[in-house]
Amino acid sequence: MQASAAEVLTNGNKEPSEEFLDIDEPPDDEPKPDGPNNEPEPAGSRCKTDRKDWKWEKKTRSFKSRGKVSFPRADYTQFEKMAPADLFSLFFDEEILALIATKSCEYAMAKSGTLVTISADDIRVFLAILILSGYNKVPDYTLYWSNSEDTENGLIKAAMSREKFMLIKHCLHMGDNKDLEDDR
């Protein structure tokens, strides 16, 4: 591991002064021999060296771990040549997208009593819009579909209608509420 420069508090002997004098504490059931009326001693009187001799210096310190490293080094070489869509599919495969679409349709039916049709492709586009909105920010999602030059996003407009996006946003669901109620 590489040593790094850090400011270290040292005493006059140029040794790191990170320890304080260990005062032998009496057990909790015995009275403590502090100052008058059992008031605690000031912190300065417990130090090994006089604080006037301490000063800050730049020193090279090594912070090496004494234990074994429990995690291997990350190797991302297998992902370097993958397209963003392929990386996305590693997280959201067809089975997950179909599950989200099914649960969202069921939730919309239970919530409002209306039958909606949401496909796995709709969920994929919806998630892509959310990812895009992470770095192309606007104050309100609906501005992506506006006709104003400064906020309109032709890519989003062509991929999904605003009404479909808002419908999915309101009924996006990934589980069954009946399962939650049964666990209580």
Rounding to the nearest 10 degrees, give the CA dihedral for residues 39, 43, 46, 48: -170
* pTM as predicted: 0.56
Residues of the chain with pLDDT under 70: 1-50, 62-69, 179-184
- All structural domains of the chain with their residue ranges: 4-61, 81-183
Q: Mind listing the pLDDT tens digit for each residue in 129-176? A: 999 888 888 888 888 898 888 778 888 999 999 999 999 999 999 887
Q: Where are the beta strands (DSSP E) in the chain?
A: 4-10, 55-61
Q: Which strand (E) or helix (H) includes residue 129?
A: helix 120-133
State whether residue 58 is helix, strand or coil: strand
Give the pLDDT of residue 10. 53
| Per-residue model confidence (pLDDT) at position 142 | 87
